[in-house]
Structure 1
Amino acid sequence: MMTALTPFYDKKVQCLACKHSYSTTKIRSRFVKVKGHESDFCPVYESDELNPLLYNVSVCPQCGFSHTDEFTTYIVPVLKTDLEQKISRHWQPQDYGRERSIDDAIKTYKLAAYCGLIKKEKKITIAGLYLRTAWLFRITNKEQQERRFINLATHEYIDSYLNDDFKGTAMSETKLLYLIAELLRRQEKVEEAVKYLSKVIEKQHLSTEPKIVEMAKERWREMRESFKDQKQNHLA
Structure 2
Amino acid sequence: MMTQLVPLYDKKYTCAMCENSFTTKKVRSRFVKVLNFDTDFAPLYADGFENPNFYYINVCPDCGYSFTDDFSSYFPPGAKQVIQDKICNQWVPHDYGAERTIQDALNTFKLAAYSSMLKKEKHIVTAGLYIRLAWLYRSTENLDQELRFLKLSLKEYTESYSTGDYKGTQVSELRLMYLIGELSRRIGNTQDAVRFFSKVIEKQRQSVEPQIIQIAKDRWQEMREDKVVSGS
Q: Please, what TM-score do these two structures have when normalized by structure 2?
A: 0.98
CA contact (8 A) 1:75 1:119 kept: yes
Unaligned runs of 5+ in 2: none
1:6-25 equivalence runs, <5 A: 6-25=6-25
TM-superposed deviation, 1:49: 6.0
**Counterpart check, 1:4 vs 2:4:** yes
Q: Which amino acid aligns with 1:69?
A: D
Aligned residue number for residue 79 of structure 2: 79
Instruction: Give the alignment's Cα RMSD to 1 decimal.
Output: 1.1
> 1:54 and 2:54 equivalent?
yes
Corresponding residue number in structure 1 for 2:194: 194
Q: How many residues align?
A: 232
Secondary structure in 2 aligned to 1:144? Answer: helix
- Secondary structure of the residue that 1:50 maps to in structure 2? coil
Query: CA separation in 2, counterparts of 1:87 and 1:40?
Result: 31
Helix, strand or coil for the counterpart of 2:4? coil
User: SS of the counterpart of 2:170?
Assistant: coil
Counterpart residue identity of residue 125, structure 1: V
Q: Is the 1:16–1:74 contact (alpha carbons within 8 Å) kept by the matching residues of 2? A: no
> Judging changes above 3 Å, is the alpha-carbon distance between structure 1 residues 106 and 48 closer, same or farther for their aligned structure 2 residues?
farther
Provide closer, same or farther for how the CA distance between residues 15 and 47 of structure 1 changes in structure 2, counting only shifts above 3 A.
farther
CA displacement at 1:74 relative to structure 2: 2.3
Tell me, in whole angstroms, the C-alpha distance in 2 between the residues paired with 1:205 and 1:132.
Answer: 31
State the match for 1:38 in structure 2. Answer: 38
Determine whether 1:111 maps to 2:111: yes
Alpha-carbon distance, 1:76 to partner? 3.5
Q: How big is each residue's C-alpha offset from its partner over 1:172-224, in whole Å with a ceiling of 9 and x where there is no partner? A: 01100001111111111111100110000112222210000000000000000
Question: What secondary structure, in the 3-state scheme, does the structure 2 residue paired with 1:219 have?
Answer: helix
Are the counterparts in 2 of residues 16 and 75 from structure 1 also a CA contact under 8 Å?
A: no
CA distance in 1, matches of 2:106, 2:26: 16
Paired residues of 1:11 and 1:23 also in contact (CA < 8 A): yes
CA gap of 1:61–1:48, structure 2 versus 1, over 3 A, is farther
Give 1:48 shift: 6.4
Question: Residue 218 of structure 1 aligns with which residue?
Answer: 218
Unaligned runs of 5+ in 1: none
CA contact (8 A) 1:147 1:187 kept: yes
SS of the residue corresponding to residue 226 of structure 1 reads: helix
Q: Structure 1 runs of 4+ off > 4 angstroms?
A: none
Q: Between the two proteins, what is the percent identity of the paired residues?
A: 50
* Structure 1 residues 19-42: Cα deviation after superposition (integer angstroms, max 9, x where no partner): 100000011001111111000000
